[in-house]
A and B are shown apart, each in its own frame.
Chain A
């Protein structure tokens, strides 16, 4: 019988089997890009199921946490190749929001690829974002939100960054459940998305010379 891929196991929410399979792949020194693609494809399947009403928030979160566990396990076992890394990421959940599961998953996935990530946490005041950009000069500033009333805070942050000339050498990414590009347009944002895979792909394209998008795309 054909053995199921890691992405299929995650997509089918077979969490124990997926964990076992992932650990085995890590032990067998799986190519990091392939491993990451497998996990992200699995999460996309679960995300699509959720959007179609075929599973619950709990399923979405359990899959996301499984992915985090796998990235963290892999970080301990794989010697990362940092040759490709082009810059750092500053990330945080904007003031007015305390949710961070999606943000944490992005942090783990980027860290797994050897990228330095400065995580400011949740409910981050606007000026703390500004200070962090001035201090770390990141290639990407990633702002997370699942609450649409926080977009006014994001707009205010962008106005300050622009005034200080801090947008010039940095990409601005807004992610999270509320970041639906069909309805939300914010000037000076380079990518606004509520799709994990799309956000990750964009960040990796900016941060690496060997962008994601190989074998499993």
Chain B
């Protein structure tokens, strides 16, 4: 195992990353970034950049386990090290194994994992909050409008958490929206490839020292969906 590599990862992916690291006996050190920040891309960007600057100079390669999450990776600077990250619009392709698996699941599917449910603001927590603050009628109005074009909820079974527990936590949302909950098979190959340095050009972005992540890099995510 190379000692000049470090991982900087979003907490939403914590259970999955730890599972893969155990499976392939990866011992890279990991720094975590609070996952709730992804709803404010600016704050996430600032935090990621700050964490990168704070990483010890002995680490010359940083594996960034994040999706692009609403422009939040754009303008991140590599400094004097190499950055490698998955080409993924958000965490979902990382949980499902590829952008094409994400596309197959359909844009009208709303996804859950334990990490997403527990560490981030999401529609379950927002619905509960809205009931408390505005009452059931207005909360129902809000959630139905917000999720109007979603046809199903999906729990991605990544093998890293208890699926039934997550299904139980989202059942009120499923009932309120009157849409089914399905289980989709997860696939953590993108994480495994990231850790194993299998960085193929279609799935990973490599940012050389002195460079930064650009909008064109972000657009490659869209293109990899079309392919």
A residues whose Cβ falls under 8 Å from a Cβ of B: 13, 15, 51, 53, 56-59, 61-62, 65, 96-101, 122-123, 146-153, 155, 177-178, 180, 183-185
Q: Within the assembled complex, what's the spacing in Å between the Cα atoms of A155 and B223?
A: 11
Q: Are B40 and A155 in contact (CB under 8 A)?
A: no
**Distance (Å) between the CB of A211 and the closest chain B CB?**
30
- Whether A57 and B222, one on each chain, are in contact in the complex, defined by CB atoms closer than 8 angstroms, is no
By a CB distance below 8 angstroms, the chain A residues around B218 are: 148-149, 151
If over half of B's interface residues share one DSSP class (helix, strand or loop), that class is named, otherwise mixed; here it is helix
Bound form: Cα–Cα A184–B222 in Å: 14
Q: A65-B142, A148-B71 are in contact. List 12 more A-B contacts (CB 8 A).
A: A15-B134, A56-B126, A57-B146, A59-B133, A62-B142, A97-B107, A147-B89, A149-B68, A151-B218, A178-B71, A184-B74, A185-B215
**Residues of chain B at the chain A interface (Cβ within 8 Å):** 39-41, 43, 68, 70-71, 74-75, 89, 107-108, 121, 126-127, 129-130, 133-134, 138-139, 141-142, 145-146, 148-150, 215, 218-219, 221-223, 225-226
Q: Which of A98, A151, A184 contacts B149 (CB 8 A)?
A: A98
Residues of A near B221 (CB, < 8 A) are 148-149
In whole angstroms, how far apart are the Cα atoms of A51 and B37 in the complex? Answer: 11
Nearest CB in chain A to that of B123: its residue: A57
Q: Chain A's nearest CB lies how many Å from the CB of B140?
A: 11
Q: Are A96 and B225 interface neighbours, CB within 8 A? A: yes
Contacts of A152 in B (CB 8 A): 219, 222-223, 226
Of the candidates A57, A96, A153, A180, the one whose C-beta lies within 8 Å of that of B71 is A180
Provide 30 A-B residue pairs closer than 8 Å at the C-beta atoms, listed in order of the A residue. Answer: A13-B133, A53-B43, A58-B127, A58-B129, A58-B133, A58-B139, A61-B142, A62-B134, A62-B142, A96-B107, A96-B222, A98-B107, A98-B149, A98-B150, A100-B148, A123-B149, A146-B70, A148-B70, A148-B89, A149-B219, A149-B221, A151-B218, A151-B222, A152-B226, A153-B222, A155-B219, A178-B71, A180-B71, A183-B71, A185-B215
Which residue in chain A gives the minimum CB-CB distance to B106? Answer: A98
Provide the bound-state CA to CA distance between A155 and B127, in Å. 35
A65 lies within 8 A of B141 (CB): yes
Q: Which B-chain residue is minimally distant from A155 (CB atoms)?
A: B219
Complex alpha-carbon distance, A95 and B89, angstroms: 15
Which of chain A's residues has its CB closest to B218's CB? A148
Q: Is the Cβ of B121 less than 8 Å from the Cβ of A149?
A: no
Q: How far does the alpha carbon of A57 sit from the alpha carbon of B146 in the complex, in Å? A: 10
Query: What residues of chain B lie closer than 8 Å to A153, measured between beta carbons?
Result: 222
Write out the residue numbers on chain A whose beta carbons fall within 8 Å of the beta carbon of B41.
180
Of all chain A residues, which has the CB nearest B41?
A180
Using Cβ atoms and an 8 Å threshold, which residues of chain B touch A146? 70
A59's nearest neighbour on chain B, judged by CB, is: B133
